[in-house]
Structure 1
């Protein structure tokens, strides 16, 4: 039986906590996200970061728009890093324009009206979508079907590639995201641009 699966690069503290979750058999009594909530956190902001393109509801959603859901929580160092190093950069906002992007507080009991007509608390939606880390980005197509997601500590080139992969509908003809990002990286390098998929992020000068 699978107890936990990581999808993306975890900070050292979250990786250690994930290993402790399995080693201590905490999975028998709680979920990974609840376990992580109770762990000591790296110093982080106590308020949510804001970006001009982020919505807090679907009130202005227009049918047919692809959707980006960004699940976060307060006191989340990797959430701060996502905003500082990725979402606030001009190179990313060009990609965000193609999506209706909603910022969601993982633990919130606030009800949210969904495009499919249902109303759920944000926390219930997170559980339904099996969100296990913050930040988690879930990208959906125009039919509100999940295409791909990324979790935990995210690099700018990786996130931009995710949004490009969905907005360009490349996923319809190339189901392997890794092939897409490798080809995109090769193209950028051929144009003389620096690419960092897993290493230090050139967009990140702090945190």
Structure 2
């Protein structure tokens, strides 16, 4: 299991670690650093007047591998099969039952990156989504009903932002809507645009109008 562990410093100078599950290891280091630095611009990550993401101080990939070496309980069960004493008529052989060994799962507080399709409740948070350039998307989202800026902790806010952005994309900028304080504007770069469908060439006039619409 691969995860990205980043270390942040809060406004009081104390450090804490934030972890994201299943990151893209193929992204350049500069792109990962830029995404983490965007978290320091959010007003969501404040608690009791302390800004939790004041400065990012480092990040690293962590890969967790669990390799079983031996299981003493299983070995004892196999070496000492269950026997039942019966009158000497015909031997009765009972099968050896091996215990089921469950994999070891350690609970870790992590942030899952976005899936291909958002749940319905998250879809309702998207106010507007549009392509402003061929590889740039503007996504306006609002906070869940009844939730204010200071109500969300750091993990909840980051989880929301990561879940709303499309797959194979990088957050370029994040601003707060001045007219609607409960809304935020994400500018997202699509890293791997969808392959173009095979079709007849467009008439030049129509293509210019389409590009003009995308840039509005």
Q: TM-score of the superposition, structure 2-length normalised?
A: 0.27
Q: Which has the higher contact order (CA 8 A, sep 6+)?
A: 1
Q: Which of the two has greater strand per residue?
A: 2
Rg larger for: 2
